[in-house]
């Protein structure tokens, strides 16, 4: 999970906040299942926990055979990441992609409802040149295997979007994203985007109000260019991604929020109260979509568990909705 920094112009402009409660369906919300820890419950117990809480979507970050086996006939839909370490190999040839599909998809689908395959997560630097070839090869391999219903995408950091305030000014920073967007448009797949108001707020708390970042009540922000009013930072960030897709010539491509969350300890504004407000607010909000795109916005919360081996700042270990013993990190309601 990368730092979702927002351009300073965006941060300065979004200094007010509000929350408008919108009825939602739990079917809009999944939870990412990270496993960078040595104290997590077995995968079969994790799947049982998802089902008991009414969580109907999951994301895993590599083709974890234990998780895939546990998901059989669970009814939980899945984002399956290839793993960034596999991206260059999949980009190199269609045969490599075919081998990956035969090993990691065919044995499980359709008993495991694999909805999307993510060809990379927050890929940076020269490795970005492998994204489009890997996506094309995976699409070809899935089609050849009769698995074309599974959509291939990639998961981007929010800072792939430049000029993100007002939201209507959103544009992709790097040229390769135009190729990504147009490929998605041709296949009907969504763009996966990791959207973290937490990191935007952390970067500039003087100009972004906590209420605006956490779905709490407050004033609103208007985009004078498109006439839309924003009641939360999350919506403004998502609509900046939408605007970037439009400028890339892919206005029909959906956005799926493949990660979003708030930490509950060990960092700036990382409290159980703020995490509960954000994540419960997110669950209650996304069923109504954003001002630019109404309708349910498919969203995945990061993450299911606190992960004690996460690298980076200490706060990274505390994004979980649950502790490793399956007790809630704070009260949260999915159903």
CB 31 within 8 A of CB 300: yes
Interatomic CA distance for residues 133 and 139, integer angstroms: 10
Rounded to the nearest angstrom, the gap between the alpha carbon of residue 268 and the centroid of all alpha carbons in its chain is 22
Residue carrying the six token digits 């269609």: 94
Residue pair 296/190 in contact (Cβ under 8 Å)? The answer is no
C-alpha 235, offset from chain centre: 14
**Best CA proximity match to 253, nearest among 300, 192, 298, 191:** 191
Q: How far apart are alpha carbons 64 and 22 in whole angstroms? A: 35
Contacts of 227 (CB under 8 A, 6+ apart): none
Q: Which of 45, 160, 259, 313 is catalytic?
A: 259
Report the alpha-carbon distance of residue 214 to residue 270 in Å, rounded.
12
Measured CA to CA, the distance from residue 241 to residue 193 in angstroms comes to 8
Decide the pairing of beta strands 221-223 and 228-230.
antiparallel
Of these residues, 122, 160, 298, 307, which one is catalytic?
122
Distance between CA atoms of residues 187 and 250, nearest Å: 11
Is 122 annotated in the active site?
yes
316 has catalytic annotation: no
H or E element that contains 146: none
Q: Tokens 């996966």 correspond to what residue?
A: 192
Residue partners of 274: CB distance under 8 A and separation at least 6: 210, 214, 262, 264
Separation CA 234–CA 129 (nearest Å): 29
Query: DSSP code of 305?
Result: B
The catalytic residue positions are 122, 259
């Amino acid at each position: 999970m990368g730092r979702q920094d927002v351009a300073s112009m965006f941060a300065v402009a979004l200094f007010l906040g509000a929350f408008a409660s919108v009825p939602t369906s739990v079917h809009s919300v999944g939870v990412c299942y990270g496993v960078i820890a040595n104290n997590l419950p077995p995968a079969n117990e994790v799947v049982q926990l998802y089902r008991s809480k009414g969580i109907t979507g999951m994301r895993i970050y590599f083709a974890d055979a234990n998780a895939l086996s546990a998901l059989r006939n669970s009814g939980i839909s899945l984002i399956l990441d290839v793993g960034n370490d596999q991206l260059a190999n999949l980009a190199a040839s269609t045969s490599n992609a075919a081998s990956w599909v035969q090993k990691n998809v065919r044995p499980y689908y359709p008993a495991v409802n694999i909805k999307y395959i993510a060809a990379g997560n927050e890929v940076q630097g020269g490795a970005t040149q492998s994204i489009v070839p890997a996506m094309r090869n995976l699409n070809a391999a899935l089609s050849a295997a009769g698995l074309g219903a599974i959509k291939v995408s990639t998961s981007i950091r929010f800072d792939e979007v430049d000029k993100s305030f007002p939201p209507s000014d959103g544009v992709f920073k790097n040229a390769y994203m135009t190729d990504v967007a147009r490929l998605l448009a041709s296949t009907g797949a969504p763009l996966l985007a990791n959207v973290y108001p937490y990191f935007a707020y952390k970067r500039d708390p003087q100009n972004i109000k906590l209420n605006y970042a956490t779905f709490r009540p407050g004033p609103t922000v208007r985009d004078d260019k498109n006439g839309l009013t924003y009641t939360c930072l999350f919506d403004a960030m998502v609509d900046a991604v939408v605007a970037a897709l439009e400028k890339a010539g892919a206005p029909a491509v959906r956005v799926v929020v493949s990660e979003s969350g708030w930490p509950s300890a060990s960092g700036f504004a990382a409290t159980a109260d703020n995490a509960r407000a954000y994540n419960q607010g997110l669950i209650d909000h996304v069923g109504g979509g954003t001002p630019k795109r109404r309708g349910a916005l498919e969203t995945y919360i990061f993450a299911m568990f606190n992960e004690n081996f996460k690298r980076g700042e200490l706060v990274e270990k505390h994004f979980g909705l649950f502790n490793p013993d399956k007790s809630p990190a704070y009260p949260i309601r999915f159903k």
